[in-house]
Amino acid sequence: MNPSQGWPFWLRLISAALLGAIAAFGLAPFGIWAATVIALILLSPLFLTTETRARAAWLGWAFATGYFAHALSWIVEPFLVDVQRHGWMAPFALTFMAGGLALFWGLAFWVVRRPDSDGVSQAVFLAISISLLEYTGRAAIVSVGAIWAGRGDFAGDFAARGRAVAARWLCGSVSPDRWNRVFRIDLCHVAPGCYGH
C-alpha cells in the first residue's frame, strides 16, 4: 500500500518540492549522493498516486523546482555585489531559472504517466523520459551556458573517488615513480586540463 495515497494533492506537491531540495544535496559542495538516490526513490510513490497526467506533470515540476532552487541557489550571488542596483533581480533569477528548468521534468512526468499501467514499467519509463528530455533541454540551453545541476552530476564525485581508490590500489604494488605516473593519469581523468593536458 502506498502511504501517500490518501494525501491531498497540495501536500503531495509540497512533499515533492521538499524531496527535490533534498535531492540537491548530492551535488557539490555537499556531495551526499545518497540523498539524491533516496529522494528519487521516495518520489516514485508520489508519482504513482497521481490520478491524471496533468497532476503528474505538476508533481514533476514541483520536485524539479525544489531541486533546481536548492542546486542553483548560488546564482543570486552576482546580484549581491551591488545590492541596491541589482539585488531586486536575484529572487526573479532563481525563481525563473528553477521553474524554467523544471518544465522539462514536468513534461517527462506528463509523457510517462498512465494511470492504468503498472508502477514498475512507469518508473523505468520515467527514468528514461527524464534523461532524454533533460538531455534535449540541456542541448537547447547550452547555447547560453547554463548546464548546471544535471541529474547525473551527483555521481561525478562518487566516480572520481572510485578511480582514485583504484589507482591507489594499483599503485600499492609498484615503485614510487610508477605510482606518480599512474596517479597523474588518474587525476587527468578526474579533472581534465590538469598537468597541461
CA 16 vs CA 21, 34, 42, 46, 169: distances in Å: 9, 17, 9, 7, 41
Q: Please write the tens of the pLDDT for every residue from 102-138.
A: 998 898 899 888 877 777 778 788 878 877 776 666 6
The SS3 of residue 127 is helix
For residue 132, the Cα-to-chain-centroid distance in whole angstroms is 14
Give the range among 74-78, 81-85, 133-137 with minimum mean pLDDT.
133-137
Distances (CA, A) of 55 to 104, 105, 152: 15, 13, 25
Is pLDDT of 143 > 50?
A: no
For Cα atoms 134, 189, 176, give the angle at the middle one, nearest 5 degrees. 160
Comparison of pLDDT for 137 and 99, the residue scoring more: 99
Q: Check residues 45 and 192 and name the one with the higher pLDDT.
A: 45
Gap between the Cα atoms of 42 and 26, Å rounded: 15
Q: How many CB atoms lie within 10 A of CB 69?
A: 21
Question: Please, is 156 exposed, middle or buried when counting C-beta atoms within 10 Å of its C-beta (0-12, 13-18, 19+)?
Answer: middle
Cell numbers placing 100: 524554467
Q: Which of 86-90, 174-178, 189-193 has the highest mean pLDDT?
A: 86-90
- Cβ–Cβ under 8 Å, residues 149 and 24: yes
d(CA 161, CA 60): 31
What pLDDT, on a 0 to 100 scale, did the predictor assign at position 33? 87
What pTM did the predictor assign? Answer: 0.72
Average pLDDT, the chain: 76
| Residue 173: predicted pLDDT | 42
CA-based nearest residue to 156, from 47, 30, 13, 56: 30
> Confidence band (pLDDT; 50, 70, 90) for 85?
very high
Dist. CA 151–CA 3, nearest whole Å: 26
C-alpha cell at 5: 495515497
